[in-house]
Structure 1
């Protein structure tokens, strides 16, 4: 199994469509056997599903993610665990242990707004719904 996590400075990057890199985890028999960093090459949002599919990813752990990207991931058969924050390595270990806390209804619907003004870390949610909707 191959797991991808939007990645920045050891943590889960909070907005799937704006990540510049993923940390990839190769898993065999419930154990991580290898990791590597994959750059997104400037791709964003729904296009990232194709990048992950080409890389052979089976599972994505992320923070906030829009409906279009969720649909694209579903279309290519990638299982989604959204609304997760914190250290990427710990999230993968929690998933493997069956203890990952995630939000099955996670979404971020700010896409009608200018991305440069959106801040998933601000106290105003700018249309991001749900606990952890933008990776908070």
Structure 2
């Protein structure tokens, strides 16, 4: 299994479409085998789902995410766990143990300066 996390400074980055890197984990039998930080090379929004698919990712853990990105990920067969926050390594371990705290309804409603996301914490600011 390959799990990607939107990533910045060890934490789950809170805006999928603006992430500049993912941490991609190899996992098997509930254990993390390896993890690698992979830059997106400036790709954004629509092309990130294809980027993850090319890397063999089948699961994504992230913060805020828009409807178009949700659709693109679904079309690539990538299972989504939005609304997660905190240390990326800990979130992946929580996912593997079945205790990940996330909000399947997390949605960024529009893009631009200073927008907010309806999320697990009642509307945090997404990072731009």
TM-score, length-scaled by structure 2: 0.91
Within 2, Cα distance between the matches of 1:46 and 1:102?
23
Report if aligned partners of 2:24, 2:37 keep a CA contact under 8 Å in 1.
yes
Cα displacement (A) at 1:30: 1.2
> Are residues 1:40 and 2:32 paired?
no
Report if aligned partners of 2:16, 2:45 keep a CA contact under 8 Å in 1.
yes
Report if aligned partners of 2:13, 2:19 keep a CA contact under 8 Å in 1.
yes
What residue in structure 2 maps to residue 131 of structure 1? Answer: 120
Task: Extract unaligned runs of 5+ from structure 2.
Answer: none
Cα displacement (A) at 1:51: 0.1
Superposed, 1:46-65 pairs within 5 Å as 46-65=46-65
SS at match of 1:80: strand
Flag the 1:98–1:15 CA change in 2: closer, same or farther, 3 A: same
Flag the 1:127–1:90 CA change in 2: closer, same or farther, 3 A: closer
Radius of gyration: which is bigger? 1
Cα displacement (A) at 1:127: 5.0
Within 2, Cα distance between the matches of 1:57 and 1:46?
16
TM-score, length-scaled by structure 1: 0.86
Report if aligned partners of 1:23, 1:38 keep a CA contact under 8 Å in 2.
yes
Runs of 4+ in structure 1 over 3 Å off: 132-136
The RMSD of aligned alpha carbons is: 1.6
Cα displacement (A) at 1:107: 0.6
Report if aligned partners of 2:4, 2:57 keep a CA contact under 8 Å in 1.
yes
Flag the 1:46–1:135 CA change in 2: closer, same or farther, 3 A: farther
Task: Extract unaligned runs of 5+ from structure 1.
Answer: 119-125
Number of corresponding residues? 125
SS at match of 1:131: coil
Report if aligned partners of 2:106, 2:117 keep a CA contact under 8 Å in 1.
no
Cα displacement (A) at 1:135: 7.3
